[in-house]
Amino acid sequence: MEEIIKKDFCLTCGQRFMVHRFQNAPKYATPTQRLYRFNKNFDHSLFAAAIRHTVALHPSLRLKLVQNKAGWYQCFPDLGPNISAIEVQGKVPGKCLAYAQSIVTEEGRKVLDLRNEPPVTATIISVNGEHLLSLCVDHIAADGISLDLFERALVNSYQNAINGCLSSVAPSQALFRYIAKEVSQRNLEKNNLLYWEQQLKGAPLNLDPNIEISTTTASVYCHQLTGEAFQLLINFCRTNKSSIFHLLAATELLLLARARDLEDIILNIPVSNRILLEEQDIIANLVMPLHVRFSIKPNEPALQFLHRVRNQITDAMVHRQFDYPSLSEFMATEAGKQGFSKANSLLACNLVIDNDPLIFPNDLFAERLDSQPSTGQNVWKTRFEISACQTKERLSILIRWDASTWPIQSDHMEEKFLLTLNKLME
């Protein structure tokens, strides 16, 4: 451990992207927050032991940023998470709950400075006889896939704590091997950057990039594919050598194109970079955002379009390692040529699939509250986001979008989404 504490490591490509965002727009670099309801038999001391144990096992959850003349580095000191407890008392349950919700909202707005603060903050809120957990993790330390891994590891540690077998285990070395591999491939970055500059040169800024970055009330649509419908989708993907990811990306592109009569679209595709088997369980920020540019060709056969989307995504993944700050400068220059001062609205879409979700309830959590669809959700202005959760029995799809940018009403999305999906599968 002492050797790890003293050593500074290079940042991964994904971390460089997040540090770049932190430097240029720190007030928007808020942590990723998840909200849980504990089980009735929740034990505070066992949970505290479990989360400290989990953080000790995974170096990125102890990440500290170091800046010197050569740039940014990361190290992993023996640093525990910030754990606090708040008890909300009062005679009116509704007011108590509203106050608890305000605490949760404020927790999610706190920007963490990893030069001085740990990347993990856990706040336990007791209200109306229940215990809630606000878990915040800085995105420089962990990507969305990592949070799924983190919550499963946390539940496992809690189960071991209950059984009295929370043994002392050496921290995982997989992250350090990954960083060494990425550093050895830095020679690829220059050519990969040229690839992205060629792809994005002259890309149309279909949305006004001069608007202030802000959130708006999201339009929300949820859909589940189960039984025969889900099996038909699986069989279609296997037959046509495409994944569910490719099929949903193609569906999203057609929805976007028809919503605003577009023929040129940038789709923001986060790639996990977990290529090797031992990398599948790394908790860290390994994801790299790829801004893939697609053309929409009128009357193109559906299957041909799907295969083109698949091939473009595959080609983009081959060039996934590049210096994002340099690409950001390039995009700003392209925006300037079109008379705009910035190009933030170039990134309008998002698509993420989780195929191994945590099952609720479990020994620790009764449910995850922030994953429950509601009409009160917010979304970044101009965004259209599809997230999908795949299990053996079903595919759950959640679409959130800014209806002022993409004029599709929530009660019309079901028809448009299913029509587009079925058209691709004909």
pLDDT at 338: 75
Which of 78-82, 106-110, 169-173 has the lowest average pLDDT? 169-173
Per-residue confidence (pLDDT) for residue 208, from 0 to 100: 54
Tokens 């034990």 appear where?
43
Model pLDDT for residues 147-178, shown as the tens digit of each residue? 999 999 999 999 999 999 987 777 889 999 99
CA angle, 267 then 270 then 273, to 5°:
140
Three-state DSSP class for 10?
strand
Amino acid identity, position 153: A
What pLDDT, on a 0 to 100 scale, did the predictor assign at position 345?
44
- Between residues 169 and 1, the one the model is more confident about: 169
- Output 47-50 pairs: Cβ under 8 A, ≥24 positions apart: 47/124, 47/158, 47/161, 47/364, 48/83, 49/157, 49/161, 49/166, 50/154, 50/157, 50/158, 50/160, 50/161, 50/166, 50/364
Closest-CA residue to 65 (of 115, 25, 102): 115
- Quote the pLDDT of residue 292: 93
Yes or no: say if 354 and 227 are a contact pair by the CB < 8 Å rule. Answer: no
Q: What is the mean pLDDT of residues 180-184?
A: 91
Torsion 232-235-240-242 (CA) sign: positive
Percent above pLDDT 90 for the chain: 63
Highest mean pLDDT among 233-237, 350-354, 382-386: 233-237
Is 419 exposed, middle or buried, given 0-12, 13-18 or 19+ CB atoms closer than 10 A?
Answer: middle
Q: Is the pLDDT of residue 85 over 90?
A: yes
Q: φ, ψ for residue 344 (rounded to 5)?
A: -65, -30
Assess whether pLDDT exceeds 90 at residue 413: yes
At how many degrees (to 10) do helices 244-260 and 302-318 cross?
Answer: 110
* Cβ atoms of 320 and 288 closer than 8 Å: yes
What does the pLDDT read at residue 350?
57
List pLDDT tens digits, range 4-48: 444 678 898 889 888 887 887 777 688 999 999 999 999 999 999
Confidence category of residue 405, pLDDT binned at 50, 70, 90? confident
- The pLDDT value given to residue 27: 72
- List pLDDT tens digits, range 219-275: 999 999 999 999 999 999 999 999 999 999 999 999 999 998 989 988 888 888 898
Selection from 17, 72, 15 nearest residue 291 by Cα: 17
SS (HEC) of 43-85: CHHHHHHHHHHHHHHCHHHHCEEEEECCEEEEECCCCCCEEEE
| pTM of the predicted structure, to 2 decimals | 0.87
Q: Which of 80-94, 178-192, 353-367 is least confident?
A: 353-367
| pLDDT tens digits, 281-295 | 999 999 988 999 999
pLDDT confidence of residue 332:
80
